[in-house]
Amino acid sequence: MYSTGDFRNGLKIEFDGGPYIIVYFQHVKPGKGGAFVRTKLKNLKTGAVLEHTFRSGDKVDKPDLEDREMQFMYRMENACHFMDTSTYEQIYLDEDHVGDAGNYLVENLPVKILFYRGEPIGIELPIFIELRVVETEPGVRGDTVSGGSKPAKLESGAVVQVPLFLNEGDRIKVDTRTGNYMERA
């Protein structure tokens, strides 16, 4: 069990019968009355965000969560298929559970799948991944006054803004948290 003194951003807790992650918290000690903790909680199953106030000393349960290393295999209809790298067991997640992470999935990409009570509920990508540019316009000579950028479509289907000097076939490093170009690979 966790006490309100253990709260920190990113802590996963069991609340109202479901798994939540603490997005934001603030310990408050008013001059009159007891201390309390204001929190913003995000439901790991549905993605809904709610605000809740805990009294100081309240306890919450630890959720039955497990991270498993898996490998993305392929996309079929509205589902993404993954394989456990240790047991070779295959599972699939529908597009709703994958969310924005689906923009960066390419074959054989290692990912972490989050399981709640044995059921897959979410996906965690590596922070940086290397992808190939499959479609972009050529940069125009002399068009760099403002350090320009142009849209580029990647092999995973995502579109990111890249510098003008990049061409089709180049490999780039992308930050999956923000979707921004980082550097040429």
Query: What residues does each domain of the chain span?
Result: 2-60, 65-124, 128-184
**Dihedral sign from CA coordinates of 29, 34, 40, 44:** positive
Given a contact cutoff of 8 angstroms between Cβ atoms, the answer to whether 158 and 101 are in contact is: no
Instruction: Decide: 49 and 15 in contact? Cβ < 8 Å.
Output: no
Mean pLDDT in order along the chain per 10 residues (185 residues): 90 92 92 91 89 92 91 89 91 83 89 90 89 85 68 90 87 90 87
**What's the whole-model pTM score?**
0.76
Question: What amino acid is encoded at 87 in this protein?
Answer: T
Give the C-alpha separation, 81 to 94, whole Å: 9
- Let me know: does 56 contact 30? Beta carbons within 8 Å: no
Tell me which CATH homologous superfamily contains domain 65-124: Nucleic acid-binding proteins (2.40.50.140)
Collapsing DSSP to helix, strand or coil, 55 comes out as strand
How far is residue 71's CA from residue 83's CA, in Å, rounded to a whole number? 5
Q: Where do the H-state alpha helices sit in 70-129?
A: 95-98
Choices 3.30.70.100, 2.40.50.140, 1.20.1260.10, 3.40.1280.10: CATH for 128-184: 2.40.50.140
**How many secondary structure helices (H) and strands (E) does the chain include?**
1, 16
Give the C-alpha separation, 101 to 114, whole Å.
13
Q: Answer yes or no: are the C-beta atoms of 45 and 18 closer than 8 Å.
A: yes
CATH 2.30.30.30 fits 2-60, yes or no: yes
